[in-house]
Amino acid sequence: MASYSAPVTCAASSTANYSIRLAAGEFRAVAVEFPGGCKSLVQVRIFLNESQVFPSDAGQYYTGDGKRIDIQGAAGIPIQGSSILRINVVNDDDTYAHTPLINVEVTEPIRRLGDAKAPGTPLMDMGKASTPFSISGLIRRMFS
C-alpha cells in the first residue's frame, strides 16, 4: 500500500493544481483536511487522469473549515495502468492563502527495490499489496 499526503497551498484569489503519478491498483482511502480559518472559502476536487472522481458529481467541490472529510465510497475504486491523480484547489478568499491537506492511500503492485531501471517502472508484479507485508517475506518470495 502506498500513502500520499499533499498539502496544497493556494494563494489568495487563485487556483492551484498538484499531481501525483499512481501505478495500477485501487483506492483504499481518501480524505481532505481543511485547517481552521478556511471558512469554506477553499474548494477541493480530485481527478484521475481527466475525469473528476471526488466528489463524484462533476463540477462539485469539497469545502470546510477546521474539519476532515473522509470520502465515503473511495475504497475499491480501480486505478487502471499508470495514472495521474490531480488535485484542484480553488481559493475564493481574497486576502489569505490556505493549505488544505489531501491524504490518499492506494494499493499497487509490489516492486523489487534496488533495481537500476527507471523509477516507477514495474519490475515484478506479485499481486496487489492489500495487506501489510514484511521485507524478509518479500525477499523469500523473490528468491524462491
What is the domain partition of the chain in residue ranges?
2-108
pLDDT in tens, 34-84: 999 999 999 999 999 999 999 999 999 999 999 999 999 999 999 988 899
Q: Indicate the pLDDT class of residue 109, thresholds 50, 70 and 90.
A: low
Q: Which CATH class is domain 2-108?
A: mainly beta
Residue that has been written with the C-alpha cell 499508470 in this structure:
82
Distance CA 9, CA 99 (A): 4
| Among 15, 64, 65, 71, residue whose Cα is nearest residue 48 | 71
The per-residue pLDDT for 138 is 44
Cβ atoms within 10 Å, residue 37: 12
The per-residue pLDDT for 36 is 95
